């Protein structure tokens, strides 16, 4: 059973990966003849404004979204873990966005940003919100962040909730007897105890957001101009529609290295923090 699995995994995952790396050294367009061109694809990615722009947007989006998702999901998880009424129902509601398709949620948010918000603020006479932010090259990314955070907070909340349930109740009782304030109790007890969950959530969220694709396709299509074009969208567009198979393969290899490097740095950094606690 293991041997066929390894073979299939190799054929459909590792082999395409190796092919991708191979094509990154060629000028192949996806059809026709090709030549080896050495590292020039790699050099060109660093000179390509569209590619650099995609990296800039993706990092900006991923970092802001990761931070926001973790703040919101930790707060919601703390709330849901407290001694509240309707606990089961509230948990069910807060997990709901996670079961919805990102693409369709994106279409709905696109409508909210382009039609609903301008109409709504017009009616209230608020000028600041009257323009569609998705149409602004400077602020369109904010719209993508809002939608991504709305959808992704649910899953991280569940992970934090799982973490909070591993914290034994008697630790709090001891702290309460010592007269620790709620704020102090959170930073000195709860947070250190759920540190591994914080690490996992940060790494997972960043990795997912660096691969952002559906959100962009549904909300902005990468626009206005190339303002919200993510790396995945660029590789897809350039590779399939732009005849840049070889070139975008080089971009994909760089993207791969960036994701692996960031994940390792993040893990090292966050795990070191865990040990010190």
Partner 1 sequence: MRKKKNWLVTSLLIIGTLLIFFPLYLTINIALKTPGEMVKPLLSLPDEWRFQNFLDAIEMTNFFQALSNSFIVTFSVVVLTVLTNSLVSYAIARNMHKKFFKGLFYYFVSAMFVPFPIIMLPLVRQTAIAGMDNLIGLIFLYIVFQLSFNVFIYVGYIKSIPVALEEAAVMDGASSWKIFWKVIFPLLSPMNATVAILTALYAWNDFMLPLVILTDPEHATLPLVQYIFQSEFSTNYNLAFASYLLALLPMVIVYLIAQKWIISNVTRGAVK
Burial 8-42 (b: 16+ CB within 10 A, else e): eeeeeeeeeeeebeebbbbbbeeeeeeeebeeebe
Cis amide bond preceding 28, omega within 30: no
Dist CA 277 CA 194 (whole Å): 11
Specify the residue, 2 or 276, whose C-beta has the smaller distance to partner 1.
2
Binding to partner 1 (CB under 8 A) within 59-78 occurs at 76
Q: Are 225 and 176 in contact (CB under 8 A)?
A: no
Which of residues 133, 145, 152, 161 is near partner 1 by CB under 8 A? 161
Which residue matches tokens 């590789």?
235
Binding to partner 1 (CB under 8 A) within 230-249 occurs at 231-232, 235-236, 239-240, 245, 248-249
Percent helix / strand / coil, the chain, rounded to 5: 75, 0, 20
State the minimum distance, in angstroms, from the CB of residue 77 to partner 1: 10
Q: Are 144 and 220 in contact (CB under 8 A)?
A: yes
Specify the residue, 150 or 226, whose C-beta has the smaller distance to partner 1.
150
Binding to partner 1 (CB under 8 A) within 69-128 occurs at 76, 79-80, 82-86, 88, 90-105, 107-109, 111-112, 115-116, 119-120, 123
State the minimum distance, in angstroms, from the CB of residue 225 to partner 1: 19
Q: How many residues does the chain have?
A: 277
Q: Are 104 and 239 in contact (CB under 8 A)?
A: no
Which of residues 134, 152, 158, 216 is near partner 1 by CB under 8 A? 158
Which of residues 56, 173, 225, 274 is near partner 1 by CB under 8 A? 173
State the minimum distance, in angstroms, from the CB of residue 169 to partner 1: 7
Binding to partner 1 (CB under 8 A) within 188-227 occurs at 197, 207, 210-211, 213-214, 217-218
Considering the rule CB under 8 A, would residue 55 count as an interface residue with partner 1? no
Considering the rule CB under 8 A, would residue 176 count as an interface residue with partner 1? yes
Distances (CA, A) of 14 to 3, 230, 255: 15, 24, 16
Q: Tell me the number of residues near partner 1 by CB under 8 A.
A: 87
Specify the residue, 140 or 231, whose C-beta has the smaller distance to partner 1.
231
């Amino acid at each position: 059973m293991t041997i066929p699995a390894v073979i299939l995994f190799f054929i459909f995952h590792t082999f395409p990966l190796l092919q991708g790396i191979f094509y990154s050294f060629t000028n192949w367009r996806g059809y026709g003849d090709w030549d080896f061109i050495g590292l020039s694809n790699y050099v060109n990615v660093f000179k390509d404004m569209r590619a650099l722009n995609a990296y800039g947007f993706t990092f900006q989006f991923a970092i802001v979204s990761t931070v926001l998702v973790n703040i919101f999901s930790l707060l919601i998880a703390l709330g849901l873990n407290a001694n509240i009424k309707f606990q089961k129902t509230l948990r069910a509601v807060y997990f709901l966005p996670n079961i919805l398709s990102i693409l369709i949620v994106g279409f709905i948010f696109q409508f909210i940003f382009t039609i609903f918000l301008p109409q709504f603020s017009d009616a209230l006479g608020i000028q600041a919100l009257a323009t569609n932010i998705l149409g602004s090259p400077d602020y369109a990314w904010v719209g993508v962040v809002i939608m991504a955070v709305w959808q992704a907070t649910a899953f991280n909340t569940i992970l934090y909730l799982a973490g909070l349930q591993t914290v034994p109740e008697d630790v709090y009782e001891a702290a309460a007897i010592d007269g620790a304030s709620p704020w102090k109790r959170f930073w000195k007890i709860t947070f250190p105890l759920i540190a591994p969950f914080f690490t996992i959530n940060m790494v997972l969220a960043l990795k997912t957001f660096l691969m952002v694709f559906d959100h962009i396709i549904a909300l902005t299509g990468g626009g206005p101009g190339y303002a919200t074009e993510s790396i995945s969208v660029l590789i897809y567009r350039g590779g399939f529609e732009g005849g840049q198979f070889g070139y975008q393969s080089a971009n994909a290899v760089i993207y791969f290295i960036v994701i692996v490097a960031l994940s390792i740095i993040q893990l090292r950094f966050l795990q070191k923090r865990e040990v010190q606690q």
